[in-house]
Every structure is written in C-alpha cells, then in structure tokens.
Amino acid sequence: DKLPVNARLYLQRIEQVTGVPIAMISTSPDRDHTIMMRHPYLAD
C-alpha cells in the first residue's frame, strides 16, 4: 500500500517473469527507505 499502483504492477510483473518472489525493495540508498513486501524467511 506504500507504493503507487503502477509500481506494484511492475513488481508483480518482475515476479511473474523471473519466477522469484520479491521480499523487499529499497526506494533510496538509506536503509530507512526499505519496503518489506513479505517476510524474506517465510515460505510462500
């Protein structure tokens, strides 16, 4: 919900093409600007 709709759709497409779930993304070099999409250590 923190990302614009088109950004979420873009990330979903990357997941579809690569077959790899995206766990987190960064919107800046600063660690405080990291968005957790899902817990990186939990199985889907």
Q: What is the DSSP string of 1-44?
A: --S-HHHHHHHHHHHHHH-----EEESSSSGGGEEESS-TTS--
The C-alpha atoms of residue 19 and residue 5 are separated, in whole angstroms, by 21
pLDDT at site 31: 80
pLDDT at site 29: 86
Q: Which two tokens stand for residue 44?
A: 């889907």
Tell if the pTM clears 0.85, that is, is over it: no
pLDDT at site 44: 63
Rg (CA), the chain: 11
Mean pLDDT per block of 10 residues along the chain (44 residues) reads 88 96 88 84 72
pLDDT at site 3: 86
Task: Identify whether the C-beta of residue 15 lies closer than 8 Å to the C-beta of residue 2.
Answer: no
